[in-house]
Amino acid sequence: MLCSSVHSKHKLFFHSICYRNPTSVAPKTYNTHHLSLREEQIEDRIAFLLHKCPNMKLLRQIHGNLLRNPFLSSSSPSFKFSMSKILCFCALSPSGDIEYARRLFDVIPQPNVFSWNSMIRGLHLFHNQSREPISLYKQMVLSGFANPNSFTIAFVLKACSNISAIAEGRQLHCHAYRYGLDSSPFVQTGLLNFYGKCEEIASARHVFDEISNKNLFAWSAMISGYARIGMVNEALSLFREMQEVGVSPDEVTMVSVISACAKAGALDLGRWVHAFVDRQGIRADFVLSTSLMDMYAKCGLIGKAKEVFDQMLERDTMAWSTMIVGFATHGLVSDALKLFSRMLESKVEPNHVTFLGVLSACSHSGLVSDGQRFWSTMNEFGISPLMEHYGCMVDLLCRAGLFEEAYSFISRMPVQPNAVIWRTLLMGCKKSGFHDKIEIIARNLLQLEPLNAENYVLLSNIYALNSQWDKVSYMRKKMKDSGIRVLPGCSSMEINGFVHDFIVGDDSHPEIKQIRVVLKDISRRVRLSGHLPWISSVLHDVDDEEKQNALCEHSERLAIAFGLLKTKAPTAIRVVKNLRFCSDCHEVTKIISREYEREIIVRDRIRFHKFVNGSCSCNDFW
């Protein structure tokens, strides 16, 4: 076996320890004690060599020398120890080789738990979206050679989290009890992360409540679980409780809390968290700074987001991309495109997220030629378009009224368009009046997503606009027969550190009576302004009065009324909506901003709308 001089020294050094000196004590005089001592030396030397090992080439030499050692049998403890260490290097080292590890593992007789753990973790590291770690764990349990320990359960739980393997994760939870590992901090944190990532928040809370001595990781995992599903009040309440018991948060905890504020549009809470980070001297690394920037952008304070961006001493690709996306969602197209140019001048490589921001900026302003130019630029950076990028281009063309071009673009796609793209095209069809294409698009859309209520609502909306009530009824019947339920419109707003949720037509809010008084005043002022409700957006085949009442019950109107009730000028009313703004509510909100002399900022599913004195920042192009 050929090797470099450095490798030769390692090899000779290994030989000097692992091979018996012929002039020393004869083999017959070796007793068990001497052999054991020699094996201990071998274990130390193997550990030392592997610690210094730079690559797989030298690893193979170490492995080969171990196999040729005359003092080691395959059943000796030192041999098993050494093989498990070599396996660990192959499976877990950045310069390792998981396939070599797999072949090595297959020939180890009765591998110990350390070897099983190395392979399970290695498979997860090299194939993090694979079921292989779970399959190997099952093989371990069935083999009976070694019982899993707390690390085994934690590693497999992480693999289950990555692929949302809920059934297998629950089985692991049972195994943790069976093997007496349920009180291990590694297992408890693994279970919290697993249930949180799979959005099984009740199970996560059950695990959390059972932990007697909650460490930082447990608190962070539970807060993160709440933040993932938008339970901002619960996340922030737990964060306050964490401080009360004297557990100091770290950057990871703060990112979770900030993300919760961003999702809910809780600006006041977000500001408080930012101040808390500064007071506690928590290091604002790339991730934390980018989270703050994202929070301010999503809470409607794009200027503050830019301030955080400007204060960063160094900026990675994600920081630049987040700022570009923030500008785009606020309709600040010029700022987004200028920042993209600065990013390129700074020699920072753009990624997929960067171009999503740039393309969506063009889409929000109908900049077709610019969008097409940036589409070509992606190829120059070697970035292959994802489905989201194709969706941006279709959206850009449809918004600009270029339905035929959008239809042609889809037909030339090298991949099959997904449901989002067909749905975008259907929206374009609705706006452009190409009703001859509706049934073709609908067939493709429903074939891909037969159980998505949004598709049926959109089709019903188009049929209702054309007074095709028989088709509207057919859509409703099909939904009912298939058990499909419509996602209700939901809007939220923060008042005094608490996030209030409003659902269309919901009477459950404790101050609903006062809210309805404000709604009546809004209706009166809107009517006096000369606005006629756009009842065509109501899908039900009912009389006009009922349609008008239905529009008044939309969630964003309830939230805006609550904002008028609880705040005074010049405080801006900030609302986050889970669906796209309906046309009538958009027009009414413009009137409210003028009549009540209030700034109203609404973040819908697509973008931000800033209403001031009867105008919207989107220029009615959304």
Cβ atoms 215, 221 nearer than 8 A: no
587 alpha carbon, distance to own chain's centre:
33
Distance CA 352, CA 377 (A): 12
- In sequence order, the 6+-apart residues with CB closer than 8 A to the CB of 363 are 371, 392, 395, 396, 399
Looking at residue 146, what is its pLDDT?
84
- In sequence order, the 6+-apart residues with CB closer than 8 A to the CB of 190 are 153, 154, 157, 158
Q: What is the pLDDT of residues 354-398, one digit of tens each?
A: 999 999 999 988 899 999 999 999 999 999 999 999 999 999 999
Q: What is the dihedral of CA 208, 211, 214, 220, to 10 degrees?
A: -20
- In sequence order, the 6+-apart residues with CB closer than 8 A to the CB of 82 are 42, 43, 46, 66, 72
pLDDT less than 70: residues of the chain:
1-40, 71, 431-434, 534-550
Cβ atoms 227, 256 nearer than 8 A: yes
Can you list the positions of beta strands (E) in 103-231?
none
Query: 600-603 and 498-503: which strand pairing?
Result: unpaired
**Cα 482 to Cα 246, 419, 442, 451, 461, distances in angstroms:** 51, 19, 17, 8, 19
- In sequence order, the 6+-apart residues with CB closer than 8 A to the CB of 455 are 419, 423, 442, 445, 446, 449
Distance CA 52, CA 33 (A): 29
Looking at residue 564, what is its pLDDT?
97
For the sheet containing 490-495, what is the strand order? 498-503, 490-495, 573-577, 600-603, 608-612, 615-616
**Cα 206 to Cα 200, 202, 229, 242, 318, distances in angstroms:** 10, 6, 17, 17, 35
Which residues make beta-bridge pairs with 574?
601
425 alpha carbon, distance to own chain's centre:
26
Cβ atoms 402, 369 nearer than 8 A: no
Looking at residue 365, what is its pLDDT?
86
Cβ atoms 228, 261 nearer than 8 A: no
Cβ atoms 492, 499 nearer than 8 A: yes
Domain boundaries, the chain: 1-109, 491-616
Looking at residue 40, what is its pLDDT?
64
Looking at residue 550, what is its pLDDT?
63
